Amino acid sequence: MSEGPAALEAWAWQEAGVLLVPPREDLAGEIPEAERCAPSAWTDAEQESLAISLLDDPASPRSSSLALRLLSQPSAEPLQRQADGLRCQLAGDTVTYVVNRNLNTSNHCQKHCSFCAFRRDPGQAGAYWHSFDSLQQRAAEARALGATELCIQGGLNTAARIDGSALTYHVQLLRGLAEAAPGLHLHAFSPQELLFIAEQDQLSLQAVLEALCGAGLGSVPGTAAEVLSEPLRQRLCPEKLTARQWCAVILQVHEAGLASTATLMAGHLESVADRAAHLLTLVALQQRAWQHRRSGFSEFVLLPFIGAAAPAPLRQRVGRDQPDLAAMLALTAQARLLLGVWFRNHQPSWVKLTLAGASEALRWGCNDLGGTLMEETITRMAGALGGTAQSPEALQAAARGLGRPVRQRTTLYGEVLPCA
C-alpha cells in the first residue's frame, strides 16, 4: 500500500484507511459473472426473506457476509419487488431529472486505464482540447436551452496550465463558464482530477478545493471510483489514484461542504466481494458525512462497463461489447437494498443502458433519470448505444410511460424555480 500523497490531509488519509472496506474474497471466492447469473440454489422465498429483512430495517448495519449473500443472488422478481418498494418508501414515486450539459474539456490524458476508450495522447487521431471560447459558447447555449447545471470533466491534461499553474487554469475555466452562463450549478472535477491538479502544482488538496469553491465549484462528480477494491484496481487502472486515496479525497470534498455523487463501474472483472466492498465503503463514507452534518453523497449511479471500443485486452477478457441488462438490473436492485437509507437517490445511466434500459431500471430501485447531457463524449467513444443527449420531453415520457409522476430537479435534488 502506498503512503498517502502529500496533497492529502493526514486526518483524511487516516480515516480513509479505516472506512475503506476490503474485499472479502475469503468469504465469497471470486464468482464469475456467468455463475452469478445462473439459477441459484436459493428459492424465491429465501431471496424475498433476505430482501424483506433489509426492507424492514433499511438503517440496519450491513455486514460483509450479508452483502455477499445478497449480491450472490441472481436476478429475481422478489429482489425487484423489494427494491422497488424501498425506492417508493425512501424517494416516493416521482421520477426526477436534471437539465444539464456535459462539458468534456479534453481527452488528452497522461494515464492509460484498461477500460478507457476516451483518452488520447496529444496529436493522436481523435485527440481534442476545447478552448475556453468554445466551452463558454457551449455553456451559454446550455443556459439558453434551460440547463441548470454544467457537468465538467476531462482527461488528465498536463498542458492545461495558465502561467505554469494547473490550478489557475481550472479556476479560470470555472470563472469563464460562470461568466458565460451565470447561475448554472458547476458540477465539476472527479476526485482523480482534483488530486491531479494538487499534485501538478504541489499544493494541498485543501488549497485546491478552497480556490475552486471560490471560483464557483458547486459539487463534485464521484467518478474515478470505478470499483473501490485495491487488488482489482491494480489490474484495471494501476496508474490511477488508489481506492484509499479516492476515499480520502471524498472525505475532504465532503468536509469542505461540497456534495458529491457516488458511482460504481460494473460488469467487467469485478467479483461479488469487490462489489460488496465498494457498496459497504460508500455506506461508511455516507454515515461519516452525516455524523459530521455534511451533505455527503447526493446519489448513487451504476455505470455498466461498455466494451465495444475499450482497449482490446480488457474487451476480450470481458467478452461483451454492451452491458448485460438483466445482470445490471439485478445489481440495481441489490444496490438499492444494500445502500438502504443512506442513499435516497439511485440513477441508472441511459447513455450506457439506452433510455429503454434506464426506464426499466426505474422499476428496479431507481428514482432518477439523470441529466439531458446535451453532448456526452466519454461513453460515446466507448461505443455505447444510448446516444449523447436526451430532451426533457423524452425523459418525461419515459417516466410517464411507467405511470409515474415526473419533475425537473436541481443538481442537489431541489425544486427548479421558474425564471423571474
Letters for 268-287 (x = contact with ligand SF4 by CB under 6 A, - = none) are --------------------
Question: How is residue 79 written as a grid cell?
Answer: 429482489
| Candidate residues 156, 243, 351, 366; the one interacting with ligand SF4 per rule CB under 6 A | 156
SS3 224: coil
Rounded to 5 degrees, what are φ and ψ at 263?
A: -125, 165
The piece of 51-59, 104-112, 244-252, 329-337 that touches ligand SF4 (CB under 6 A) is 104-112
Scan for cell 483524511, then name that residue: 12
The sign of the torsion formed by the CA atoms of 186, 191, 192, 198 equals: positive
Nearer to ligand SF4, 78 or 191 (CB): 191
CB of 93 to ligand SF4, least distance (A): 36
Other C-beta atoms within 10 Å of 44: how many? 12
Is residue 119 a contact point for ligand SF4 (CB under 6 A)? yes
Nearer to ligand SF4, 82 or 229 (CB): 229
CB of 311 to ligand SF4, least distance (A): 10
CB of 128 to ligand SF4, least distance (A): 13
Nearer to ligand SF4, 67 or 156 (CB): 156
Q: What burial class does residue 411 get, using C-beta atoms within 10 Å of its C-beta: 0-12 exposed, 13-18 middle, 19+ buried?
A: buried
Rounded to 5 degrees, what are φ and ψ at 354?
A: 75, 160
On whether the CB atoms of residues 352 and 323 are closer than 8 A, the answer is: yes
Q: Which of residues 219-248 bind ligand SF4 (CB under 6 A)?
A: 240
| Candidate residues 103, 109, 186, 333; the one interacting with ligand SF4 per rule CB under 6 A | 109
Q: How many degrees, rounded to 5, is the angle at CA 31 between CA 345 and CA 73?
A: 50
| Candidate residues 81, 111, 161, 363; the one interacting with ligand SF4 per rule CB under 6 A | 111
What is the total count of residues that contact ligand SF4 (CB under 6 A)? Answer: 11
Is residue 116 a contact point for ligand SF4 (CB under 6 A)? yes
| Candidate residues 118, 300, 343, 350; the one interacting with ligand SF4 per rule CB under 6 A | 118
* CA 403 to each of CA 90, 363, 395: distance values in angstroms, whole numbers, following the listed order: 18, 11, 13
| Candidate residues 67, 98, 113, 327; the one interacting with ligand SF4 per rule CB under 6 A | 113
Is residue 305 a contact point for ligand SF4 (CB under 6 A)? no
Strand order in the sheet with 149-153: 100-104, 149-153, 185-188, 217-220, 259-266, 297-304, 346-347
CB of 112 to ligand SF4, least distance (A): 6
SS3 186: strand
Q: Where is 222: in which H helix or E strand?
A: none
For binding to ligand SF4 (CB under 6 A), which residues are involved?
A: 109, 111-113, 116, 118-119, 155-156, 192, 240
